[in-house]
Chain A
Amino acid sequence: MRRGNWEEYQKSIADDNYYYARSCIRQNFFPGSEKAFLDIVANRLGRNIYDDPLHSSCTGIGYHSDIVPLDTIMAVVARQFALMNEAGYENLVSSCITSFGIYTEILSTWEEFPETEQRAAETLYKATGRTLVKPKNVAHTSDVIFHLRKQIAEQMTRPLINVRTGEPLRVVEHIGCHYAKIFPKKGIGGSEFPYVLAGMIESWGGEVVDYPERRHCCGFGFRNYLVQANRGYSVANSQKKLESMAPYRPDFIVCNCPGCAMFLDKWQYTIAEMEGTTYGQGGVGIPVLTYEEMAGLVLGYDPWQLGMQMHQVDVEPLLDKMGVEYDPATKYLGVNGKYIGKPEQAVVNGDCPSGFYSMLSL
């Protein structure tokens, strides 16, 4: 299928006044990314965005693990929409790809099967006294960064350029299945040629790496990761992607979905511990970034303020290529500069700890 067929797959993204819905996975593993997103949108680019303390999980991970029924998640989502309306907003921005898929799927289902919307509204009202009002615009947080990418480029202090060679950094982008595979027209570029991250990379001076398994799932597979006995599925699918991208020598991976970012980071650790295999250059892993971290770096944020010390694969090789100044001594300090030790070594970071291949017994 030719790229041109997908050019019509563009979406309307609100320019201002966003209601922010947090992500279970992103706030656990990338809390600095959520903080950076709010700071970039509100303080760097002057948009109004509301971080509501009342909203909950969309329960999407439970839904896709088949323990939360459809009627239940619809009513939970109806509550999110009601809270947004009560706060005076109509543009929902989700920090999570699973949630974004849930919101788009539920809105579409309500359209096609109006009795389901009525049931959700009635449950919501009986349970909470709140009234369902649907959003006018639903976007993923990456859509907003994509929408604002040229303004970010105007403030850029560190383009995606290798300062040693002057060449563009080579970037693998991973979109996350639920961004566009459920409703291709709700994602920029659709499911075959998604442009949401590629647009950022190109605007900020990098080069997008194409590779055979570019569209393959990261391997989350919900119950296939969440249940320990099933995790072979998850690591095998991540491995398939990593094996496919490695020959193209990417400088880093950037992910749309917080789950994908976590898995492509953590499974590199696991594979290195189990087999001694690493996929980056120089015997280490490939750094895996969120798009908020990528935006934060080009805007000059400190990597530890972005939370990049929470990654399993060290990001320093990328920081050095970008010419980012950072203080290694402060990387693992806690709040108020408290010394709290540091993580044990790992093969994926070029270390050979005493427990080398220690996960073979798992």
Chain B
Amino acid sequence: MNSADDNLYRNSPRAWSLLGRVWVLGLLLLLSGAQVLAGEANPWVRLEADGLHDPKGGAIRDLQQPGEALAPLPRDVVGNMVRWVEALRTGVITPRTNILPDTKIQVLDLDIIYPNTGNYNFVRFPHKAHTEWLDCSNCHDAIFAKKYRGTTISMANILEGRQCGQCHGAVSFPLTECNRCHSVDSQNFAGKFGPQPVAK
């Protein structure tokens, strides 16, 4: 480096600024890259770093870490990063259906297709996926009347945490996943609305 260049870098504010920009940009890229890599490998936060558990408490030593428990399960992109229905159906997990010996376990295989979804896809509600996890009484008649269209369902209610939003957005897949419920193409729909056998 000759003396003119040396002088430039030592004294020119513009050169300093340029150097600074390059340095900071590189650092930022490095940091974001590391975060993306870390997220892809294991998206679950460890308990001691989750902002809820007290790292000084005894629990951290004893409790199972989400990353260890959930990593073998079918991967989702939201919520717990687990496709819970698939996990159940493929037998990766076998959660108990009951504790009390006399509890009646009911699974209903009945779909409902709902119209009146504005200009968006119609909704297909699968009873099966829901009753594999839940009891009939969890929804009927506490949240929804048993009769088809006996309850007016609205996205306003759902977004407030009522109706479907009682679980979706809190514990089951969140409300960002529009198309998982709004799954029936309304433009090319030739079927009928309402309760119906599951299309095979």
A and B part of one assembly: no
Task: List residues of chain B with CB under 8 Å of any chain A CB.
Answer: none
Task: List residues of chain A with CB under 8 Å of any chain B CB.
Answer: none
